[in-house]
Structures are given as C-alpha cells and as structure tokens.
Amino acid sequence: MKILIVGATRGIGRQVLEQALAAGHAVTALVRDARRLDVQHERLKVVKGDILDANSVALAMARQEAVCCSIGVKVPWVYVTVFSEGTRNLLEAMKKNGVRRLASVTGIGAGDSRGHGGFLYDRLFYPLLLRTVYADKDRQESLIRASGVDWVIVRPGFLTNGPLTGRYRAITDLSGVTAGRISRADVAHFILQQLAAPSHLRQTPLLSY
C-alpha cells in the first residue's frame, strides 16, 4: 500500500511511518522541515511542504492509495484553523487523485466524545487550553464526514509512549465511557489496520485500554 502521512515527524504520525515501513508499505511523508525526520528507507519519500499549502499537498498526494492525517498544534492558541483548512486541502487533493482511504486523528473533545475525558480534563484542561483547538477539530470532522471518501476518524484517549500491544478497545458507543490511556504505538497500529481493511468505516472510534 502507498500511504501519505501528514504529521510524520513525531507522535502518532511517526509511529505510523515506522510501522508502515516495517510492514512493507511505501510511505510518503509531507513535512515542513525534513531535518526533523531522521529516517532513511528505500520505501520512504519525503516531500517538503505544508498541509496549508494546496500545491505541496497535491504534489505529495500523487499516486497514493491511502492517507493518514495526524497533525497537531501547540496550545493554547487564540484561534485555530489548521485542522479544517489543512483537511480541506487534503480532501481536494484526494478527490483530484482518486484516493479514497483516509484515517484522521482528532481526540477526546471532538464531536460526541466531548464530556468523556474525566473530571479534570472536561472541567479544567478542555475549557482553559483546548477549546479553540477542538472547535477547529469539529470543523475538520464535519468536512471529512461530508467528503464522500472512505474515512475513519480516530479519537485516541490519553496518549503515552508505551509499547505496541495490539490489545486495546475501539469504542463507538460512548454511553458511560470515560477515556483511558492508549499508547501512540497502538493508535498507529489501529490506523494501519483501518487503512488496509477498515472495520470502522465512517465511524469515530475512541481508542483506549
């Protein structure tokens, strides 16, 4: 599979890149600063660009079969638009290139996952630090839902640098659920599964142990 990863220099995106290469996939990484991606591999292509630049997104999208979007921002920001504007560019490039499969990472606080982060997260961190971020992630999710592509929106719980276990829950009914921890490696494992053979097509699973 030929996978475009946006957000490959760190976190979940870096885990997706490493696991994808280990599994034999061909990876294209769209990065703003190639020096931050200290990986060399015969099946890795690095494209310098920005998700907010439609031209560089279009260049990276050529001949791809699937897309992983795992971008992030530093908080707090007064007003955030990178998730929605960047996703608009991704979806347009996917449409022009006939790319159907998309896995996009949002998080606890997007859509109907709001209120499932636990007391401190819901009452303190979300309103004080994350409100503008998740307002834009809501816009991002709306664009994806309306796009017509074969999407999965991945909402990880509280991220750790723990190992890949392959043992986690993908929860779609959040009734009575409070998010727990999940390693970035296991989130990446789920993303690759969904890009290869989606079991949660057009769903928004919460990932947690």
In angstroms, rounded to a whole number, what is the distance separating the alpha carbons of residues 129 and 121?
10
Going by C-alpha positions, the residue among 133, 142, 1 that lies closest to residue 65 is 1
In angstroms, rounded to a whole number, what is the distance separating the alpha carbons of residues 111 and 204?
9
In angstroms, rounded to a whole number, what is the distance separating the alpha carbons of residues 15 and 4?
13
Contact 165, 186 (CB under 8 A): yes
pLDDT of 74 reads: 82
Q: What is the pTM of this model?
A: 0.96
pLDDT of 50 reads: 96
pLDDT at 45 exceeding the cut of 90:
yes
In this prediction, residues 28-32 reach a mean pLDDT of 97
Structure tokens, 100: 């159907």
- Encode pLDDT of 46-68 as tens digits: 999 999 999 999 999 999 999 99
Judge if the upstream peptide bond of residue 76 is cis by omega within 30 degrees of 0.
Answer: yes
